[in-house]
Amino acid sequence: MSSAANRRRRRPGSPKRIKKPSWAGALRAALGLLACALAALVYQNSFDNPFVFDDRETVLLNPALIAPWDWSAAAIQNIARPIVTLSYAFDRGFWGFSSFGFHVTNVVLHIVVVGLFYGWCTRVVGSDPARTGVKGRADRGQTGGRRGSDTSLTPDWAAFFAAAIFALHPVMSAAVGYVSARSELLAAAGFLASLTFARRAIVARSRTAAILAGIFGALAIGSSSSAAALPIVVLAYDAWVLRDPRWPVRLARVYAPATLAIVSIAAWHVSGAGIDAVPDRGPVANLLMESRVLWRYVMLLVVPRGQSLVHDVHWVTSVFDPVSLAALAASAAAVAAAIWNRKRYPLVAFGIIWFIGGLAATTSFLPVRDAMAEHRLYLASPGLLLAAASVTWRPVSGRRALRIVLTAVLALLATQTYRRNQLWSNPMEVWEQSVRRAPNAWQSHWGYGELLREIGQCDRARSEYASVLRLYPDHAGGRAGLDACR
């Protein structure tokens, strides 16, 4: 046998090279473009929606936006979220105070996030050494890529449906259609970009990619506290999915120092700004209450019903509250199950850590003003969608009937989101719905009362301000509104 033939001989045990069909790349690109196009299509009716709720303080009354293109004022106005304020300054300079421009920017950011999420899914779902797009180590912990499997199956369909569900899900409208929730859009974009570059840095041993991962991670954390768990999420991917032997070294040199720095900055911010908790509650009671909220978030993703700008929550008055203890136990069990099954189902375990980590900053010990807010699901939900795609990509790719069913689901989600956008075009309907669905939340009565007072209906506003003071006796705005309507 010639030396050339010897060189061409495959080593025993090495993965068999699989020749990709000529249409595979075109299909992947087309599905990605389709997911982004669906996001643009379903949100085109949100461009003319007005500012609502916190948008008044965030944009219209923001002192950093008085002068157009005043970057220095925007950079120091909100030290905790400088990237967000800078994005508002850009819109202020380019569009003025038109809500149209601010909503256009939000939708563009959503399309970017959808594209990044689709790209991430195509990289990691069903990956094996033969079809990985990066030279070097493959995602060895994946569920796909077994020798002898059907090479005609592709995870691109599962990636598409995961990204399209994220693009069209009505719960995401709470972030996309709400200008004050832009922090979640920017955080998600930075989070996904950081994940992508971190993966390349590990797989390809690229220092440039590592630097870019750090930069985008800092942008994400500088946009929203939802991204605070990024180092832990990257660690889970490194250790459980890639199973790179050098992950303990990166834990000591990168992940642990980054987590410590984030915790230190968060502690400094909380100690300086105080905890805005209404009513006052301790960390244990808050954890029990938020354990219930966590499962309400899951239910909203599975069955998007009962959406509202403001949500009622169950205020825990005893550490022995049985339902809250059960919810906390179920949450702990989910994390324990993820860790226990990290070798068998690494992407499922990784997705669960992503989801819980994305909510940890606002759904745990630390009390915040709004105990439950739908826009917080924006960064966390891709974790569960990725987990689902990782275990369903084979049947999704191989069964046309299943793809038809999922397409019908997309149509249903798109219809609900389109209607949700229409609701947001009428602030009166938004607040009336919030009061109906969250009668025990002072925020719903406060927002409704302010709107009624602005349009000269003080006779109706007085009862809303009274409800605010009943639920939150120290609310200065409620007292001022009641005095203004006498």
Distance CA 133, CA 430 (A): 46
Identify the three-state secondary structure at position 328.
helix
The neighbour count for residue 130, using CB atoms within 10 Å, is 16
- pLDDT tens for residues 246-265? 999 999 999 999 999 988 88
- Segment 83-100 shows an average pLDDT of 91
Angle at which helices 99-124 and 182-204 pack, to 10 degrees? 30
The predicted structure's pLDDT at residue 309: 92
Could you give the C-alpha distances from 194 to 33, 64, 232, 394, in angstroms and in order? 21, 29, 13, 28
Q: How far apart are the C-alpha atoms of 84 and 89, rounded to whole Å?
A: 9
Q: Looking at per-residue confidence, does 251 or 1 come out higher?
A: 251
Q: Which carries the bigger pLDDT value, residue 69 or residue 270?
A: 69
List b or e across 429-462, with b for residues whose CB sees 16 or more CB atoms inside 10 angstroms: ebbebbbebbeebbbbbbbbbbbbbeeeebeebb
pLDDT at residue 19 in the model? 52
pLDDT of residue 17: 44
Contact 191, 379 (CB under 8 A): yes
Residue 336 and residue 330: Cα distance in Å, rounded? 10
**Residue 152 pLDDT greater than 70, yes or no:** no
pLDDT per residue as tens digits for the range 109-141: 999 999 999 999 999 997 643 333 333 344 544
Residue 142: predicted pLDDT: 44
Question: How much is the average pLDDT of 12-29?
Answer: 60
Mean of pLDDT values over 75-85: 79
Q: Is 445 left (phi over 0), alpha (psi -120 to 50) or beta?
A: alpha
Q: What is the mean pLDDT of the chain?
A: 86
Per-residue buried b or exposed e for 16-46, using 16+ beta carbons within 10 Å of the residue's own CB: eeeeeeeeeeeebeebbeebbebbeebbebb
Per-residue pLDDT for 374 more than 70? yes
The single-letter DSSP state of residue 373 is -
The C-alpha atoms of residue 70 and residue 64 are separated, in whole angstroms, by 7
Work out the angle at residue 232's Cα, subtended by the Cα atoms of residues 179 and 286, and round it to the nearest 5 degrees.
65
pLDDT at 6: 47
Question: What span, in angstroms and rounded, lies between the C-alpha atoms of 300 and 430?
Answer: 18
State residue 139's pLDDT score. 55
Q: What single letter denotes the amino acid at residue 191?
A: F
More confident residue, 340 or 318: 340
| First CA to last CA distance, the chain | 101
pLDDT at 20: 56
Residue ranges of domains in the chain: 23-52+98-428, 441-484
Q: In this predicted structure, what is the pLDDT of residue 232?
A: 96
pLDDT in tens, 180-221: 999 999 999 999 999 999 999 999 999 999 999 999 999 999
Cα distance between residue 429 and residue 435, in whole Å: 10
Average pLDDT over residues 72-93: 84
Q: What percent of the chain has pLDDT over 70?
A: 87
Query: How far apart are the C-alpha atoms of 77 and 134, rounded to whole Å?
Result: 41
Mean pLDDT of 378-384: 96
Of 74-83, 99-108, 114-123, the range with the lowest mean pLDDT is 74-83
User: What's the pLDDT tens digit per position in 275-334?
Assistant: 455 556 778 888 999 999 999 999 999 999 999 999 999 888 888 889 999 999 999 999
CA distance 435 to 312: 10
Q: How far apart are CA 107 and CA 58, in angstroms?
A: 18
- pLDDT attached to residue 234: 96
The pLDDT of residue 145 is 39
Instruction: Please state the rounded mean pLDDT for residues 102-112.
Output: 97
